Amino acid sequence: MSTATAELPREVRQRRKAGLPPWLNPAPLWLRGIKAAVIVAIVVTMLYPLVYVIAMSFASPQQARAGVVFPTEYSLDAYRAIFNGGTVVTGLQNSLWVTVVGTFLSLTASAMLAWGLSRTKDVPGSKFILIMVLATMFFSAGIIPNFLLVKSLGLLDSLWSLIIPGLVSAFNMIVIRNFFMNLPTELIEAARIDGAGEWRIFLRIVLPLSKPVLAVMGLFYAVGYWNTYFNALLYINDAEKWPIQVVLQQYVLAGVSIPGATVSPDQPPPPGITLQMAVIVLATVPILLVYPFLQRYFTKGVLTGAIKG
């Protein structure tokens, strides 16, 4: 157990080059072995279903209809069928817009409210509001009142109906608030003594210090908006404005049997499992790509850098 000091062995220099702090020592070999084994096991079990989904999305129609555990013959039929439709592109555009605009607005509104409610002792009435917000996590309104509200606000058939009614999630807001409250107090304190206003403190100190939690909440919101399905079905009748999830689900539903509906020869055959899987791949992959970009905010060291900056 050496506390890295003067001699600076090669190992330490290498680690410094890799951006790791000099005092971080590698674990003993046996421990690293166990860790590696556990990690590999976790990765394999978690990766398998996705591999399965992707493989099935490329399965040949014959194999898919007959039912196989894992396909051995492949085709592009499912993807071809989906992109033939033409509404997929519109759907992607709609979803992209809702996700980008929605995430930005939600994050802004949530962070503002979180900061506003972060000093319940000082700000009269803010504790009451906090509790009222908290209560919305446990009491919800039904579908019908929500629908009537959206309708009376004239938001039906507008993409805004997918953003505004769910603008702030009480859960996300409270988590952000929790992080705000655990920020190092010295800087904020100092700024206040310097006469900085709340907005200035919020924009210049609080937000830069909170990049990790804002990244997480941004991801939560973005995933939520990207996966918008039920509300879109309720509030949007114009198929041109459907987000991608709704459009894609239609392929899965094609030919779904309706009680009492008769089978007519020219009705499309029910969707193969390949189509379902292709839909999952197309609906999921874009949002999966967001995460790696956010990961850098979780890396240690951001914090000190931010304070200096």
Footprint (CB under 8 A) of another protein, residues 223-282: 223, 230, 233-234, 237, 239-240, 242, 246-247, 249-251, 253-256, 258-270, 273, 276, 280
**d(C-alpha 162, C-alpha 243), whole Å:** 9
Tell me if 6 contacts another protein by CB under 8 A: no
191-210 positions binding another protein, by CB under 8 A: 192-193, 195-199, 202, 210
Please count the residues of this chain forming the interface with another protein, following the rule CB under 8 A: 155
**d(C-alpha 121, C-alpha 195), whole Å:** 20
Q: Torsion-angle region of residue 8: left (phi > 0), alpha (psi -120 to 50) or beta?
A: left
User: Quick one: which segment of 6-14, 71-79, 95-103, 144-152 binds another protein (CB under 8 A)?
Assistant: 144-152
User: Quick one: which segment of 6-14, 16-24, 71-79, 93-101 binds another protein (CB under 8 A)?
Assistant: 16-24
Tell me if 187 contacts another protein by CB under 8 A: no
Residue 176, Cα to own-chain centre: how many angstroms?
15
Among 29, 30, 46, 308, binds another protein (CB under 8 A): 46
Tell me if 13 contacts another protein by CB under 8 A: no
**d(C-alpha 253, C-alpha 237), whole Å:** 17
Q: Which of 3, 46, 45 is nearest to 23 (CA)?
A: 3
Amino acid in the structure at residue 278: A
Tell me if 301 contacts another protein by CB under 8 A: yes
Q: How far is the CB of 23 from another protein (least distance, A)?
A: 4
Among 98, 130, 162, 222, binds another protein (CB under 8 A): 130
Q: How far is the CB of 288 from another protein (least distance, A)?
A: 7
**d(C-alpha 180, C-alpha 232), whole Å:** 33
- Pick between residue 95 and residue 110 the one whose CB is nearest to another protein: 110
User: Quick one: which segment of 6-14, 71-79, 92-100, 129-137 binds another protein (CB under 8 A)?
Assistant: 129-137
Query: What length is written for the chain?
Result: 309
Q: How far is the CB of 210 from another protein (least distance, A)?
A: 8
Q: How far is the CB of 97 from another protein (least distance, A)?
A: 18
Residue 223, Cα to own-chain centre: how many angstroms?
3
- Pick between residue 100 and residue 136 the one whose CB is nearest to another protein: 136
Angle (CA) 43 45 48, round 5°: 100
User: Quick one: which segment of 6-14, 15-23, 71-79, 96-104 binds another protein (CB under 8 A)?
Assistant: 15-23
- Range list of H helices, the chain: 10-17, 29-57, 61-66, 77-84, 87-116, 126-135, 143-152, 170-181, 185-193, 198-201, 207-209, 211-226, 230-235, 244-253, 273-288, 290-294, 302-308
